[in-house]
Amino acid sequence: MEKGYLALVLHAHLPFVRHPEHEDFLEEDWLYEAITETYIPLIDVFEGLLKENIGFRITMSLTPTLLSMLMDPLLQNRYLKHLDKLIELSSKEIERTRWQGQFHELALMYHQRFSRARYIFCDEYKMNIINAFKKFSDAGVLEIITCGATHGYLPLMEVERKVSVRAQIKVGVDIHRKLFGKTPPGIWLPECAYNPGDDEILKEFGIRYFLTDTHGILFGSPRPKFGIFAPCYCKSGVAAFGRDVESSKSVWSSQEGYPGDYNYREFYRDIGHDLEYDYVKPYILPDGTRVNTGIKYYKITGETENKEPYVRKNALDAAAAHAANFMFNREKQAEHLLGIMGRRPIIVSPYDAELFGHWWFEGPDWLNFLIRKIYYDQKNIKLITPLDYLKIYPRNQVLTPSYSSWGWKGYNEVWLEGSNDWIYRHLHKAAERMVELADTYCESQPNGIMRRGLNQAARELLLAQSSDWAFIMKTRTHSSYAYRRTKDHIYRFTRLYNEIRSGRVDSNFLSDIEGKDNIFPDIDYKIYCKK
C-alpha cells in the first residue's frame, strides 16, 4: 500500500492573441512556440505511456483563451505555415552543418522534431490538438480542469464584483462543457488568486475544487490541521488544495532547481539571433526583427558567454537523474508525513505547462522519466488527481482560505502597482456599464445588430480583464503590446456602450471587431444581468 500521493498539475495558458489584420504578428508566435515545444511534446509523452499501458494520472488546466486559439481555423493554418518554415529551415541547417559534427546531429534532431510535430498536428489530429487532450481525458489518465474565461484576476474585480467573477467562471465552464462534454471537476483560479467567498460561485457551477498557493491554506481560519498536505473544504463545500513548496522549488527555480543544470539546453542562444541576417531573413519577421526560431545549439554550460555545444544524451541522462531525485524526495516526504498525519498525504505540485519544453527543453523528457519511474521503481507514492483524493478521503477540515495569489509576495502586487494600476478605473467602469446594459435588455429579446453589439461588448470586457496584460506591464516584456491591447478593448467596449445606448450600432465597426475578437462565439450578454 502506498504511503502518499503526488498530484502533478500543469497549467496550460496563453492570452488570446489573434490578428487577422496582419499577415505576420510577433505575439502570435507565443502560441506557435507553445504548440511545437510544449503541447505536442506532452501529447507525444502521454501517447507513449498509453501505448505501453503505463498507468498514470495527471491534472491539466486548459484555459478558455488557449482552447479558443487552438480551435481557430485562421491560427491553425498560420501555425502550419509556421511549422513548414521551421522544417525548411532545419533542412537548410542539415546542409549548412554537414561538416560540423555535433551541430549536424542537432540539426537532424530539430528536423525530426519539427517533422514529427507536423505529423501529430496534421495527420493524427487534423489540426485540432484539443482532440488529443480529450482522448487522454476519456482514457482516464488526464483530468482536465478549467480556468476563468480570459484569466481575469478575480480579487481585483471590485465593481460589480459578484457579477464579473460569475461571468468569468460561467464562460470558462461553458466552453469546457462544450468541448469535453462534462462539467470540469476543478478550476485553476487565474494566478491562483483567491478571494474569500468566490468559492460560492464555483459551487454554483458544479466545480468541486480549486488550487491556491501555500499561504492560502496555511493562513486560513482556523489553522489547517494537516497544513497543505490534505485539502480543506470551504463553507460552500468546495475543496481547496495548497501548493507544496518543496516540490515546486525543485522544478521552478533556475538557480536551485533542475532546469539550471549545465547539461540542459540554453534557452537564450537561438540561430534566429546568432546566424547571418541574410540567411535567417526568410524565417524572421517581415520587418527584419530577429526572433527565436526554436533551433538552439548550445547548453547552459554555466554563467559564461562561451557556451558549449548541446549534447542531447547528456541532457537526457540529467533528466533521468533529476526524475529519480524528485521521486526519491517525494517518497521520503510522503513517508514522513504519513507518520505525522496518520493518513496518506497528497503532495500538490502545480506548474505552468509551458515550462515543460519551451523554457525547460528537457521538461517533457523529465516528466516521462518520472512517470515511468513511479510506475516501475517504487511503491511508496502514487500519481493521482485532486478529485481522486477527495474520493479516497471525502471527510476534510472546514476552513476559510486566506486572500492570496501565487504572485511575487503572495498577494496583488504583481497586478496592482505603479506600472499597471491605471487600468482598473477603466475596467471597473466598463464592468459597471456592462451590467447596466445587460440589465436594460435582461427581460427583452433584442435581435440582429443590437444583440450582436451586446454580445461583443461582453467579449471586449472579458478580453480587457485578462491578467496577462497587467503582468506584462509589470515585467516590462512586450509592455507596449499589453498597453495597446488594454486600451483597444476598453475603447471598443466604450464605443459599443455609447452606440447601444443611443440605439444606433455602427455595423461596419461591429463587423470589424467581431472578426478580430471572435472569441466565445456562443456568449450571451445576459451573463452580466444583475436582476
Please tell me whether residue 130 adopts helix, strand or coil conformation. Answer: helix
136 and 47 in a single domain? The answer is yes
CA distances from 30 to 18, 53, 131, 172 (A): 11, 33, 21, 21
Cis status of the peptide bond prior to 259, with omega within 30 of 0: no
What's the CATH code of the domain at 522?
1.20.1430.10
375 and 434 in a single domain? The answer is no
- Report how far residue 141's alpha carbon sits from residue 59's, in angstroms, rounded to the nearest whole number: 9
50 and 147 in a single domain? The answer is yes
- What is the domain range of residue 175? 7-71+128-265+310-408
523 and 391 in a single domain? The answer is no
Lookup: cell for 124: 493524427
Backbone torsions φ then ψ of 227, nearest 5 degrees: 60, -135
Residue type, 495: R
Distance in angstroms between the alpha carbons of the first and the last residue of the chain:
53
CA distances from 265 to 360, 362, 515 (A): 8, 8, 40
Domain assignment present for 339: yes
381 and 455 in a single domain? The answer is no
The answer to whether 432 touches 124, Cβ cutoff 8 Å, is no
Domain assignment present for 149: yes
Lookup: cell for 441: 435588455
Domain assignment present for 42: yes
- Report how far residue 189's alpha carbon sits from residue 412's, in angstroms, rounded to the nearest whole number: 14
The pLDDT of residue 254 is: 65
Of 352, 386, 408, the position where a domain reaches its end is: 408
The pLDDT of residue 303 is: 86
239 and 332 in a single domain? The answer is yes
Express each pLDDT in 122-154 by its tens digit.
999 999 999 999 999 999 999 999 999 999 999
Of 381, 408, 435, the position where a domain reaches its end is: 408
The pLDDT of residue 531 is: 65
Q: What angle do CA 409, 214, 391 make, to 5 degrees?
A: 155
227 and 315 in a single domain? The answer is yes
Domain assignment present for 450: yes
The closest alpha carbon to 293, from 32, 25, 69, 12, belongs to 32
Backbone torsions φ then ψ of 409, nearest 5 degrees: 70, 0
3-state secondary structure 134-157: HHHHHCCCEEEEEECCCCECHHHC
pTM above 0.95, yes or no: yes
Domain assignment present for 108: no
- Report how far residue 487's alpha carbon sits from residue 104's, in angstroms, rounded to the nearest whole number: 47
Domain assignment present for 103: no
Backbone torsions φ then ψ of 448, nearest 5 degrees: 60, -135
Number of domain units in the chain: 2
The answer to whether 344 touches 334, Cβ cutoff 8 Å, is yes
431 and 498 in a single domain? The answer is yes
- Report how far residue 351's alpha carbon sits from residue 402's, in angstroms, rounded to the nearest whole number: 21
DSSP state letters, 395-438: ---B-BPPSB-SSGGGSSGGGSSTTTTTHHHHHHHHHHHHHHHH
Category of 165 on φ-ψ map: left (φ > 0), alpha (ψ -120 to 50) or beta: alpha
What's the CATH code of the domain at 164?
3.20.110.10
Domain assignment present for 342: yes
167 and 233 in a single domain? The answer is yes
Residue type, 86: L
Ranges of the chain whose pLDDT falls below 70: 254, 531
Domain assignment present for 162: yes
318 and 366 in a single domain? The answer is yes
143 and 252 in a single domain? The answer is yes
Of 354, 378, 408, the position where a domain reaches its end is: 408
393 and 457 in a single domain? The answer is no
The pLDDT of residue 249 is: 87
Lookup: cell for 131: 482532440
The pLDDT of residue 151 is: 98
